[in-house]
Amino acid sequence: MRLLRFIVAIILLPVNIILTAGFFRNFTYFKEIQHGEVVLLAGFISYLLLHFILYRPVFMHVMAHELTHAFWATLFGGRVKSLNVSHEGGSVTMEKSNFLVVLAPYFFPFYTVLALLIYIIVDVKYVDYILFLIGFTYSFHLALTLYSLRQKQTDIRECGLLFSLMFIYLANLLILAGIISLGSKQFNMVNFFNEALGFAGSIIK
Nearest to 169 by CA among 70, 23, 4: 23
What per-residue confidence (pLDDT) applies to 82? 79
Q: Contact at 8 Å (CB) between 177 and 138?
A: no
pLDDT value, residue 3: 86
Q: What's CA 163's distance to the chain center, in Å?
A: 16
Distances from the Cα of 29 to the Cαs of 33, 133, 174, 177, 191, in angstroms?
Answer: 11, 25, 18, 14, 9
pLDDT reading at 170 higher than 80: yes
- Of 169, 183, 170, the closest CA to residue 112 belongs to 183
pLDDT over threshold 70, residue 205: no
pLDDT-based confidence at 113, cuts 50/70/90? very high
**In the structure, what pLDDT confidence band is assigned to residue 60 with cuts at 50, 70 and 90?**
very high
Given a contact cutoff of 8 angstroms between Cβ atoms, the answer to whether 77 and 49 are in contact is no
Please state, in angstroms and rounded to a whole number, the distance separating the CA atoms of residues 12 and 87: 35
Residue 200 CB: number of other CB atoms within 10 A?
17
Inform me whether the pLDDT recorded for 128 exceeds 70.
yes
8 A C-beta contact, residue 121 and residue 92: no
Main-chain dihedrals φ then ψ at residue 9, nearest 5 degrees: -60, -40
Among 87-96, 117-126, 169-178, 182-191, name the most confident range.
Answer: 169-178
Q: How confident is the model at residue 155 (pLDDT cuts 50, 70, 90)?
A: confident
- Contact partners, residue 129, CB within 8 Å, separation at least 6: none
Q: How far is CA 179 from the centre of its chain?
A: 10
Average pLDDT of 90-116?
90
CA angle 47, 187, 124 (to 5 degrees): 65
Least-confidence region, from 56-70, 122-136, 147-161: 147-161
Give me the percent of the chain exceeding a pLDDT of 90.
66
pLDDT confidence of 56, banded at 50, 70, 90? confident
Q: Which pLDDT value is given to residue 143?
A: 95
pLDDT, residue 204, reads 79
Q: If you average pLDDT over every residue of the chain, what do you get?
A: 91
